[in-house]
Amino acid sequence: MPWMHAIRDLVMLVATLALWRQDAALRHATGGLAVVTAVAAGTMTAVCGFLVHEWGHLLGASSYRSDVRVPSTPFSLFLFHFDPETNRPAQFIAMSAGGFLASGLMVGFLLAVLPLDALSGRVAMAFVGAGVAATLALEVPPFVRVLRGAPIPRGAA
């Protein structure tokens, strides 16, 4: 388990919740601080969504005992590296599906709880929408190809 990454992500979550609390207090205020807080809360929510997506990939990979390498620093953009040379297609499919499932649950949760009438909620959902579009464009096609029998892609995995 990448403990440094878990601590990093918990700190990010706590910071995001603090921003949402501040956003709620400033929601009906005018001025730069209210706007900056709303944009920061929405942006950090999307960052947390990305982190949930990455943890979903790791849990999916772990569920099939995939060969993964965790970066030595918690400042890496990605939570782990999936080795396409030593893993089987079933492990790639499980790893991919874990990220998709985590993202789907996160999007549903955010739609249920975010104040979509507030700037912070709209910013969050705009970034989340962009993340979903990126996933559909970058991650789903290789997943489908491997599901249909193609080899695990090299490179971005």
- Residue that the structure tokens 């388990």 belong to: 1
Reading the chain (157 residues) residue by residue, the pLDDT tens digits are: 688 999 999 999 999 999 999 999 999 998 999 999 999 999 999 999 999 999 999 999 999 999 999 998 888 878 899 999 999 999 999 999 999 999 999 999 999 999 999 999 999 999 999 999 999 999 999 999 999 999 999 875 5
Which residue intervals of the chain are DSSP H helices?
A: 3-26, 32-63, 89-113, 119-138, 140-147
pTM assigned to the model: 0.93
In angstroms, the CA 51 to CA 57 distance is 10
Structure tokens at 95: 């790893």
Q: Treating both helix axes as pointing N-terminal to C-terminal, what angle do 32-63 and 89-113 enclose, rounded to 10 degrees?
A: 150
- Residue that the structure tokens 């099939």 belong to: 64
